[in-house]
Chains A and B, each alone.
Chain A
Amino acid sequence: MSSTPEHDSRSALELLQATNRQMAERAEPPRWYHPTLGLMLGGLAAVQDAPFVWRIVYPIACCIGAGLMMQAYKRHTGMWIPGYRAGRTRAVVAILVGLYAAIFLLAAWASFDLHLRGVFLIAGALIAVLGTAAGYIWQWAYRRDLDAI
């Protein structure tokens, strides 16, 4: 361990910041990534209005789809970044999960207690938009996290 002169530390810090900017750019997923993720999440709610078999098949298809998306992201960026990583990004995921649960439970209450039809479809559409937006917000939060170093 050793101390270094001022210019050395400053240039090291600048190098660190430049690398982080490069990482933030490199981590951008393909254009279809966030909308697809939003649609997959929305589908999980919307499918509750579909026949029973779809309520079994769709989540399995979603798991396979999530695996394929992970592979596609790795191929596109050459890296993997977990959504629930520490920092501002974790707050974005926590808020998304909270809102997802709230919308889903509200739809379940309206469907089962109030016997309203099509509420899961509306909830699914809402979650799809929310999930897509959350993807872009996550990306922004990731850039902010890296800028903060």
Chain B
Amino acid sequence: MPAAVLDPTIHAPLRLQICAMLAAAHTIDFATVREMLDVSESVLSKHVKTLEEAGYVAVRKATSGGRQRTWLAMTPAGRKAFAAHAAALRALVGEVGEAAE
């Protein structure tokens, strides 16, 4: 049975949460992600940049209601990588559970 492998770009807790949020929606406002994660703008920017450089997240700026908002969306490659990562997590936890029985 092939070993389940985790994507190190996604696996860091904050990036895992960002990916989970983006996988569950089409687009999310940067400010909403920051509020939900309760982190500073600079910390979130750093993690978003990592995901963007990996080609997993797309960043778009748009003016809405007279103010500029930054919208984050997961790319198809990001969705694929996140789905594989979540499946690997489930497999690892499942394998450990089976081994313990």
Chain A residues contacting B59 (CB-CB under 8 Å) are none
Interchain nearest-CB distance for A86 vs B (Å): 10
Chain A residues contacting B29 (CB-CB under 8 Å) are 74, 78-79
Interchain nearest-CB distance for B37 vs A (Å): 9
Which one of A6-14, A122-130, A131-139 is at the interface?
A: A6-14
A24 to chain B: closest residue by CB: B24
Tell me what chain A mostly uses at the interface: helix, strand, loop, or mixed: helix
Q: How far apart are the CA atoms of A1 and B4 in the complex, in Å? A: 10
Given contacts A6-B92, A78-B31, A146-B24, contact A16 B86 (CB under 8 A): yes
Checking B13, B28, B32, B64 against A12 with a beta-carbon cut-off of 8 angstroms, the contacting residue is B13
A58-95 contacts to B, CB under 8 A, are: 71, 74-75, 77-82, 85
Interchain nearest-CB distance for A4 vs B (Å): 6
B1-56 contacts to A, CB under 8 A, are: 3-8, 11, 13, 16-17, 20-21, 24-29, 31-32, 35-36
Tell me what chain B mostly uses at the interface: helix, strand, loop, or mixed: helix
* Size of interface on A: residues with Cβ below 8 Å to B: 30
Contact yes or no, B89 A13, CB < 8 A: yes
Does A116 reach chain B (CB closer than 8 Å)?
no
Contact yes or no, B28 A78, CB < 8 A: yes
Q: What are 26 A-B contacts defined by CB distance under 8 Å?
A: A1-B5, A1-B7, A1-B8, A2-B6, A3-B92, A4-B6, A6-B92, A6-B96, A12-B13, A13-B89, A15-B17, A16-B89, A19-B21, A20-B20, A20-B24, A22-B36, A23-B20, A23-B24, A24-B24, A26-B32, A27-B24, A71-B64, A75-B65, A78-B35, A81-B24, A149-B20
B interface residues (Cβ-Cβ under 8 A, vs A):
3-8, 11, 13, 16-17, 20-21, 24-29, 31-32, 35-36, 64-65, 86, 89-90, 92-93, 96
